Amino acid sequence: MPRSAPDSPEPNLLRGHLDLILLSIIQGEPKYGLEISKQAQERTQGYFDLKVGSLYPALHRLEKAGFVRGEFRSALRSGSPVKVYALTESGGRELEARRREFEIFTQQLGKLWQLGGAK
């Protein structure tokens, strides 16, 4: 059944690009999980709604791979420690590589649409 214009991405599409999404958001200032989720929603007008069940396993995977560094810090409001994530040097290189890969992918996909007559 064809999908109409989605309010959110198809789950497999999101899973396939979750690392790129997270690395893009984490770039810059260190961020904690809820902040990462909120920025994903805000920057995409709600298109990316990252759920805890996919967010934290992905952050742990990126940390294990050495692309992000997690560190506990005291939260300003509650004073309770929260884990913030920062992009590492290798994470910056990974982000750039994934961005290039995605740009090439979308360019090639666009060529297929042009050749196939889809608009």
pTM for this entry? 0.85
pLDDT by residue (tens digit) across 95-106? 999 999 999 999
The string of DSSP codes covering 41-100 is HHHTTTS----HHHHHHHHHHHHHTTSEEEEEEE-TTT--EEEEEEE-HHHHHHHHHHHH
- Whether the predicted pLDDT of 4 surpasses 60: no
pLDDT by residue (tens digit) across 41-74? 999 999 999 999 999 999 999 999 999 999 999 8
Question: 11-116 has which fold?
Answer: Arc Repressor Mutant, subunit A (1.10.10)
Average pLDDT, the chain: 89
Tell me, what's the pLDDT at 105? 93
Tell me, what's the pLDDT at 6? 63
